[in-house]
Amino acid sequence: MQSARPSLLGARVPRVEDDRLVAGRGRFLADVVLPGMVEAAFVRSELPHALVRGVDTSAALESDGVHVAISGPELGIGPVPDLVQWVRPVRHFPLARDRVRYVGCPLAVVVADDRYLAEDAAELVDVDLEPLPAVDDVDAALAPDAPLLYPEWGDNRLLSMAPENPAVDEAFRRFPTISGTYTIDRCTAAPMEPRGVVAEYRDDRLTVWTSTQAAHLVRTMLADVLGMAERDIRVITPDVGGGFGQKNTIYPEEYLVPWLAMRLRRPVRWVEDRHEHLLTSCHARDMRIELSAAVRDDGTIAALRGRIRTDLGSGETFPGGFGPSVVAVGSLCGPYRIPHQCVAVEGVVTNKTPLGGYRGYGMPEGTFAIERLVDKIGRERGIDPLELRRRMILAPDDLPYETAAGARIDSGSHREAFERAVELGEQLLAEERQRTPDAHLGVGYATYVEGVAASAFAVTGIRSGQDSADLRFDPDGGVTVAVGISAMGQGSHTMVATLVAEELGLPIDQVRVVMGDTDTAPFGLGSFASRSAVVAGGAIAQAAEVLRRKGTEIAAHLLEASPDDLELADGGFQVRGSPGSSVPWSQVARVALTRTFELPPGTDPGLDARASYEPPGMDHAPRPDGKMNASANYTNSTHAAVVEVDPGTGVVRVRRYAVVHDCGHIINPLTVAGQIHGGVAQGIGGVLHEQLPYEDGQPLATTFVDYVLPTACEIPDITTEELCSPAPEIPFGIKGAGEAGIIGPPAAIARAVEHALEPLGVADVDTTPLTPSAVRRLIEGARS
């Protein structure tokens, strides 16, 4: 239906959620206070690998203010289900029973009147652990005599996939090869707000407040582990101070705190401190990619072959931490015409904190590997790496295009974005050289595609690709929209309100958004994989179409006009070409809800609609040929980074940064820019500063003294430019943008450092983070 008002899509609409948050009126998990609430504290293993001989809680039980102290064998709940059939079962419990496999593993929980009493009593719990040899890296875990974390497996491989591809074998017989090994070390999301859970059991119903990205899936897993019906559980997500995929995992505390509330018949709260967070909230990356290319005479790649090995930590997490490895395989070809690939995957368990999701979810790792390999091919063949990319990058005439992994790319501006980013990069480098001509400056680029709104069924056994929306008019013409996605600071309320207002011709301030509550929002899979705008937008479009049709019929009846002659105006309907003949939504809603005797004959009362939407064309499991189109669509982007390196200290400073990005039709430029800026900042942290080292299974970075986050001083001004290639099969033509910013920095900054240090003989930077000591080792290695 046509609309007489300008479109809201692409307008710089201020975020509707910000006034409340910046004024301090947000309600985060730690702000949830209930009458009679008690606090929980956990006893955690100080050993990385040990047999549990006993956990004595008697002294803690006698401590002042303690209500319960309990260990694993005393819990009357089952294990977390292993839902993915193609990986080995872990069968982990919320509290360890017979073995601990990482420092920080929960052994017991104490509940007391306040957190201080609970912490004091937890120190009285007597834990008897028999130490076992620990392995804290993949090579040690795969050694023939390695201690086994799960003896029943016979080795330390949680999964092992070794596909075959005759076309790849043929290409490697025909063409010479160039190879490299690329590593991104272990880091963590470190959101501003750590995790937390509050639970209350009242009137035979369990209510759980938890800082999560997926309220409905927490409810599903709670019902399974606690042995309850889902209808008897309500999960509420308060304001979330950052998730970044780390809060897409369901943790032991999310099962234990509700169980304790049911046992005690009073509210229980647990809020993680930063030390616990760095020990126990899932880690990320820790991936090594061994990659070889069969290279034609012109330098282009005929086929890729390789192996991805990921250190999964203990593996005791849901969803399993192997998902990013599979996504990395799918992202290796990037935006390039590489016809064949065959990449094995090994997920290896070690005595570290379990691996999980973090923004980018395997795509920064895959992009780092292929971009560094392309640079190496150019160097060894004497071809300008930028020219080599031009020979392979997708052009408009190539679309639609299916990658070697099976991704179906139907739109994009791959070549245009690349050329513009190169233009910006050269300009920024020239400006910096003019300012500091004697500095060691370099520029690097990274170009990639990002799969958005992915099905996660293959790596979770439970998440597919759909989501839902409920739209309901009130008699005054306002609309309440409830959606199954979650908010965690990314502007979801503004996005949803904008799309509803756009579809119904309403002012944004007449739209109220509800999400993050399983009692009031329709079933949804949550917010991850840059999916929120795509899936919520699709459901909103379908539900709004139902309301528009019904509203048009009612308005036409009131105006004594044909429905075909009406168009949406600002706030209602009008006869096309006659603005004076109009009916506002408020009048239509009153007729539908209160003055039902004025409805057209045969029209039912009410003005509400529910819709579920799943993007077309997604695969939820590999096809017979092993390929898989796991995402609804694919954005594209090219990053340019200009860095300065101090050879004496090894300090790398990112001086300038530019991103040319295409996420289809933009809903709100402010939101997209914010997503890209935040992602780049996190990417800079990961490539230059953040690292979680271990020694003999002991974590060495357990506070922000040791785990170094970038500050505003380390983040440069970021130039962003948006291109627009609408998604042809997605409502509104939109694509996701949540993870794009973090994918490019590892490859772009590594190349820029390499470029800056080429006069000193440094080449082939293949590992991050590039801390000062790592950079000095590169320089010393080149000199020797």
Q: What is the CATH number of the domain that holds 250?
A: 3.90.1170.50
Q: For residue 733, is pLDDT > 80?
A: yes
Q: How confident is the model at residue 298 (pLDDT cuts 50, 70, 90)?
A: very high
Which residue matches tokens 């272990």?
186
Please tell me whether residues 478 and 391 are part of one structural domain.
no
Please tell me whether residues 410 and 295 are part of one structural domain.
yes
Q: Summarize pLDDT for 215-271 with one digit per residue, the tens.
A: 999 999 999 999 999 999 999 999 999 999 999 999 999 999 999 999 999 999 999
* Domain C-terminal end among 592, 613, 634: 613
CA distance 528 to 360: 10
Q: What angle do CA 678, 680, 684 make, to 5 degrees?
A: 120
Is 104 part of any domain? yes
Q: How confident is the model at residue 195 (pLDDT cuts 50, 70, 90)?
A: very high
* Domain C-terminal end among 557, 590, 613: 613
Q: What is the DSSP letter of 312?
A: -
DSSP strand pairing (233-236 vs 205-210): parallel
Q: What is the DSSP string of 213-239?
A: S-HHHHHHHHHHHHT--GGGEEEE--B
- Residue 46 CB coordination number (10 Å): 14
Please choose, from the candidates 580, 588, 334, 302, the residue with its C-alpha nearest in 3D space to the C-alpha of residue 451. 334
Bond before 400 cis per omega within 30 degrees: yes
CA distance 237 to 233: 13
CA distance 611 to 469: 6
Q: For residue 154, is pLDDT > 70?
A: yes
Q: Summarize pLDDT for 93-118 with one digit per residue, the tens.
A: 999 999 999 999 999 999 999 999 99
Q: What is the DSSP string of 3-67?
A: BSS---TT--PPPTTHHHHHTT---BGGG---TT-EEEEEEE-SSSSEEEEEEE-HHHHTSTTEE
If you average pLDDT over residues 156-164, what whole number do you get? Answer: 96
Joined together, the tokens standing for residue 648 give 């004496």
Please tell me whether residues 451 and 471 are part of one structural domain.
no
b/e sequence 565-597, b meaning 16+ C-beta within 10 Å: bbbbbebbbbbeeeeeebbbbbbbbbbbbeeee
Residue 468: CB partners within 8 Å, gap ≥ 6?
483, 484, 522, 523, 524, 539, 610, 611, 612, 613
Q: Which amino acid is at 519?
A: D
CA distance 692 to 60: 32
Which residue matches tokens 């579809």?
503
Burial class from Cβ neighbours inside 10 Å (0-12, 13-18, 19+) for residue 267 reads buried
Joined together, the tokens standing for residue 85 give 């059939």
Q: Which amino acid is at 84?
A: V
Inter-CA distances, 357 with 6, 286, 294, 440, 529, Å: 40, 12, 32, 35, 10
If you average pLDDT over residues 443-472, what whole number do you get? Answer: 96
Inter-CA distances, 50 with 134, 586, 702, 739, Å: 9, 67, 21, 38
DSSP strand pairing (608-613 vs 467-473): antiparallel
Domain count, the chain: 3
Burial class from Cβ neighbours inside 10 Å (0-12, 13-18, 19+) for residue 783 reads exposed
Q: What is the reported pLDDT for 1?
A: 62
Q: How confident is the model at residue 579 (pLDDT cuts 50, 70, 90)?
A: confident
If you average pLDDT over residues 457-461, what whole number do you get? Answer: 93
Is 338 part of any domain? yes
Q: How confident is the model at residue 148 (pLDDT cuts 50, 70, 90)?
A: very high
Is 431 part of any domain? yes
Please tell me whether residues 266 and 334 are part of one structural domain.
no
Is 141 part of any domain? no
Q: What is the reported pLDDT for 554?
A: 98
Q: For residue 504, is pLDDT > 90?
A: yes
Q: Crossing angle of helices 323-331/363-381, nearest 10°?
A: 40
Please tell me whether residues 482 and 538 are part of one structural domain.
yes
Q: What is the reported pLDDT for 2?
A: 63
Q: How confident is the model at residue 456 (pLDDT cuts 50, 70, 90)?
A: very high
User: Rounded to the nearest 5°, which phi and psi values hold at 187?
Assistant: -145, -170
Q: For residue 14, is pLDDT > 80?
A: yes
- Kindly report whether the global pTM for this prediction surpasses the value 0.85: yes
CA distance 108 to 69: 7
Radius of gyration of the chain (CA): 27
- Residue 598 CB coordination number (10 Å): 14
CA distance 729 to 388: 32
Is 304 part of any domain? yes
313: left (phi over 0), alpha (psi -120 to 50) or beta: left
Please tell me whether residues 687 and 771 are part of one structural domain.
yes
Please tell me whether residues 406 and 482 are part of one structural domain.
no
- Strand partners for 309: 288, 346
With residue 692 as reference, give the H or E element that holds it.
Answer: none
CA distance 183 to 179: 14
If you average pLDDT over residues 258-285, what whole number do you get? Answer: 97
Q: For residue 346, is pLDDT > 90?
A: yes
If you average pLDDT over residues 442-464, what whole number do you get? Answer: 95
Is 140 part of any domain? no
SS3 state of residue 323:
helix
Q: Which domain holds residue 113?
A: 32-132+189-280
Q: Summarize pLDDT for 51-93 with one digit per residue, the tens.
A: 999 999 999 999 999 999 999 999 988 899 999 999 999 999 9
Cα torsion at 335, 336, 340, 346 (round to 10°)?
Answer: -50
Q: How confident is the model at residue 580 (pLDDT cuts 50, 70, 90)?
A: confident
Q: What is the DSSP letter of 564?
A: G
- Residue 767 CB coordination number (10 Å): 18
Inter-CA distances, 135 with 155, 185, 358, 587, 730, Å: 12, 16, 24, 70, 47
Please tell me whether residues 569 and 638 are part of one structural domain.
no
- Strand partners for 236: 209, 517
Please tell me whether residues 436 and 540 are part of one structural domain.
no
- How far does Cα 209 stand from its chain's mean position? 21
Bond before 258 cis per omega within 30 degrees: no
Is 148 part of any domain? no
For residue 413, what is the domain's CATH number? 3.30.365.10
Which residue matches tokens 């944004």?
508
Q: How confident is the model at residue 628 (pLDDT cuts 50, 70, 90)?
A: very high
Is 183 part of any domain? no
Name the residue with higher pLDDT: 77 or 370.
370
Please tell me whether residues 68 and 194 are part of one structural domain.
yes
* Domain C-terminal end among 280, 306, 339: 280
Through-space distance between the first and last CA atoms of the chain, rounded to whole angstroms: 71
Please tell me whether residues 655 and 551 are part of one structural domain.
no
Residue 70: CB partners within 8 Å, gap ≥ 6?
57, 95, 108, 109
Which residue matches tokens 């190539």?
398
If you average pLDDT over residues 673-678, what whole number do you get? Answer: 96
Residues 39, 114 contacting (CB under 8 angstroms): yes
Q: How confident is the model at residue 784 (pLDDT cuts 50, 70, 90)?
A: confident
Q: How confident is the model at residue 357 (pLDDT cuts 50, 70, 90)?
A: very high
Please tell me whether residues 695 and 767 are part of one structural domain.
yes
The sign of the dihedral angle between the CA atoms of 391, 392, 395, 398 is: positive
- How far does Cα 245 stand from its chain's mean position? 4
